[in-house]
Amino acid sequence: MTSIAAASRSTALDVRMIDIGGQMLRVGIKPGSADRPPLLMFNGIGANLELAAPFFEALGDTEAVIFDVPGIGGSPAPTLPYRPSTLAKLAHDLMRQLGYDGQIDVSGVSWGGGAAQQFAFQYPKVCRRLILVATTAGTIMVPGGASVLMKMASPKRYVDKGYMRSIAAEIYGGAFRADPTLIEKHAAAMRGSTQYGYTLQLLAMLGWTSLPWLWMLQQPTLILSGTDDPLIPVINAKVLEKMIPKSTLELVDDGHLFVVTNPVPHAARVEAFLSEG
């Protein structure tokens, strides 16, 4: 059994490999109620699906889907580079192949928040509600500190767990500053990021911004942002709230990865939002 497969067995996710138009994707599915739309989640840069498992397991009866982006985790690298629009279509086709033919809810964390915005814009009739966590409108953003961004630009933290332990508090902030055990748990769940796959993710967002069309998004949108986020300052969430017509911003007294470090209350908030109306 590979280390990735072993990690999958320890979560509530049904993990499988699925061919979407010639691109193999490693997909995690959390079973849930068929009485509401499923939740599709786009993960952060370099992040394999196991890192989202604690949040998924806290989601109660919400059915949820996540996949390793091509070149990350267990998904083979693509033949060609991709853009957010490419990834949105890949995710759309995945959900259809899984049998979700109606509307779905879409969420995105950090880098994945850009992909989630693109999905909502590209498939407005498919995306019912949108959840944006610790994210921005793309390259036009108010950045974090230069030292923090330099450390984020390399996948070293995903292949060198000692390095991750040494920088986690600095780049993620919040609960990581006070509780070293959180760093150990996070490092233990990391799998499979490569320099090539990570570079493809960086290039995908190069020059991309949602600012010109955010005002066109009509989905009810929940925006969550940590007040101690060294990577993405709160001002970016306020820009999203200002630009998206039906949005609500809620600030969290934590850092960049609050859905990982404290998943239960945030999963409950997400489920409450998805149940509104």
Q: Which residues contact 106 (CB under 8 A, 6 or more apart)?
A: 39, 40, 41, 42, 116, 119, 120, 127, 129, 130, 131
pLDDT tens by residue, 153-171 = 666 766 666 777 788 788 8
Q: Is 147 in the active site?
A: no
Report the mean per-residue pLDDT for the chain. Answer: 89
Torsion of CA 213, 211, 150, 108, to 10 degrees: -50
pLDDT tens by residue, 168-215 = 788 888 888 888 777 777 766 766 567 888 899 999 999 999 999 999
Domains and CATH numbers, the chain: 3-275 (3.40.50.1820)
> What's the pLDDT score for residue 11?
53
> What's the pLDDT score for residue 74?
94
Mean pLDDT score, 139-150: 78
pTM for the whole structure: 0.89
Q: Which residues contact 223 (CB under 8 A, 6 or more apart)?
A: 132, 237, 240, 241, 244, 247, 248, 249, 250
Strand partners, 42: 108
277 versus 243: the higher-pLDDT residue is 243
pLDDT grade for 7, boundaries at 50, 70 and 90: very low
DSSP letter (8 states) at residue 31: -
Residue of 8, 75, 107, 110 with catalytic role: 110
